Amino acid sequence: MIIAVDFDGTLVEHRYPEIGKEILFAFDTLRDLQKQNHQLILWTVRSGNELEAALEFCRQRGIEFYAVNKSYPEEKHNETTSRKINADIFIDDRNVGGLPGWGEIWHMLNPDENPGQKEELKRLKRNKSSVLGNLKKLFP
């Protein structure tokens, strides 16, 4: 799977432009996901020196991202290219309902370890509709 992950408020506490305290189990979960051969994309508002600092923070914790703020490393953005990341799963503190704990995220992404989540993950993978589409389903 391709998993896009936010930085501020998701991997670390919000302290932008500084780097906040590491969120419990965030990097343990990411390392485990990489061992399972998932591709991780860092999807963040950070750029320039702030982005480099975040990438170094992640490297020091054993995380190298497949791509940063793009769907694949070679992607070039212009007026004809969407800035939306092509990912199967987005992990972000701005999700509807907020960020679940990283233990819960791990269980959601490892349904064989948590059989009750297996069908939910299949549904998420099948239904890559927009947030608006999902909200319309929740609030007809």
Q: What are the Cα distances from residue 26, in Å, to 7, 74, 132?
A: 10, 27, 27
Total number of domains constituting the chain = 1
List the domain range (segments joined by +) for residue 27: 2-138
Higher-pLDDT residue of 84, 2 = 2
CATH number at residue 56: 3.40.50.1000
**Per-residue pLDDT at 2 exceeds 80:** yes
Res 15: pLDDT: 96
**Bridge pairing between strands 39-42 and 67-68:** parallel
Q: How far apart are CA 17 and CA 70, in angstroms?
A: 21
Look at the pTM and tell me if it is higher than 0.85. no
Chain segment 60-116, per-residue pLDDT in tens: 999 999 999 999 898 887 777 777 889 999 999 998 888 999 999 988 898 877 555
Please tell me the predicted confidence (pLDDT) of residue 123.
Answer: 63
Tokens of 130: 């927009």
Q: Under a CB-based contact definition with an 8 Å cutoff, are residues 4 and 51 in contact?
A: no
Q: What's the CA gap between 22 and 63, in Å, rounded? A: 13
